[in-house]
Structure 1
């Protein structure tokens, strides 16, 4: 009987969708670790512009059956047992009021379903009411990927997780190490700069002059010894004297698959730094430098390395 009711609710949604060339996406977002005095709901975190990482995690599916099932359950929920849940905008509570949201997009139509811990109920923020799932229907509708997202103990994993690391000797520009140089030492031992840009930063007490040095599409900044080095893809740029930077054997425009082979632990959490609504692009992975000398960030765009940022300590 429960399955029949769900099927009847799905039928008009399916008929509507079949009149279009379908674009269907379900974005699941889960708050995994709130901050003290932070929002008590995933909705609050996402609205503040939080990105995929230590606070929120997410996954996406392009699955019509999943999308229509979630929409049907939201409609059906008004027949379930209701319970008042006043909205608490700020605070600190490890129980989390409403940690999950599912954003369903079918062509131009878009709706959001909020659920409590374990997907035990559907929450309607405008009513400040939760409707208790009587038969575990929500979890039953989810795909294996989204079930794993809902159950995974991210908070404890993050405590024990270790990213990969590499020695500074594997940071090479045209085969030469870049670590530990002042500006003059860099030009003498590695390569001369193509150009320099200067910015004046004003504060209340003084003017600070910020200098940025360039070698092709590589940006270098110094504060005494080298502080950071950024390599980035600049579409359409052509350089007569090509320079190649590699970090642990990875260079710009290498595939994400090659990066995964080189640093599997760092790539364990996909989409770190991505927008909650577009997890498939513009994210990064972190690789530490040995002996606490800093870190390397590999930014991904279109499944390729689009930027490499090195920050030295």
Structure 2
């Protein structure tokens, strides 16, 4: 593990037991057993107040962290509007997810071989990384976004039927909320734990086969175009397994929406959090605690 992440984990381990509690961007129904264990077995206070992405409508999510999206939302919606329902694959590895030139080419060839239209958010690449005549062959079938993308807008569009993701928690939860099953491709940090939740517990994901936990792209084994094609087809084709994942993803999306509505689990947890902090503030000497 990278020394930076090791230090962060040590700091969390030191300070979490001393904290008053933990506010979690999640909802109880998504990970009920883990929430119960944290509260009842470990004896820690926790409030599930998410998904926080639902505080705004998808059409309003035009930027992240104050960055301008790589493409205008209207242009993105126009492109998606020309595609069949559930036919488009969205590919994005987050703000820190980078791959080698060789892996980039394999991914491009795998997406091409899958036969599916796709939106691919590309953070860093050079023109020579693309396979020969790739753009010409993919004209009309792919939309390449360079930089930031209106991710929530994309995930919530009816044309999007799958998401190739690095399993960062924000991206994972946004896909769950939108009801979109995933191809899981973790790189480092907690992403491998998130993959287990998505694939083994929630059963709304297919693992690409990434095993190496590292922030250095050159240290990761190459995932071939054939493996990428096979995994994408497994997620996107009209088979029994894929249909089960889509059905389960829709159920979780409904649970997520319900959680933040009045009377929902996250709604109640947010009320409880506000009330507890208000009561604590009124206690004598509370400011010194």
TM-score of the two chains, using structure 1 as the length reference: 0.22
Task: Report which of the two has the higher share of strand.
Answer: 1
Q: Choose between structure 1 and 2 for higher RCO, CA contacts under 8 A separated by at least 6 residues.
A: 2
Task: Report which of the two has the higher share of helix.
Answer: 2
TM-score of the two chains, using structure 2 as the length reference: 0.24
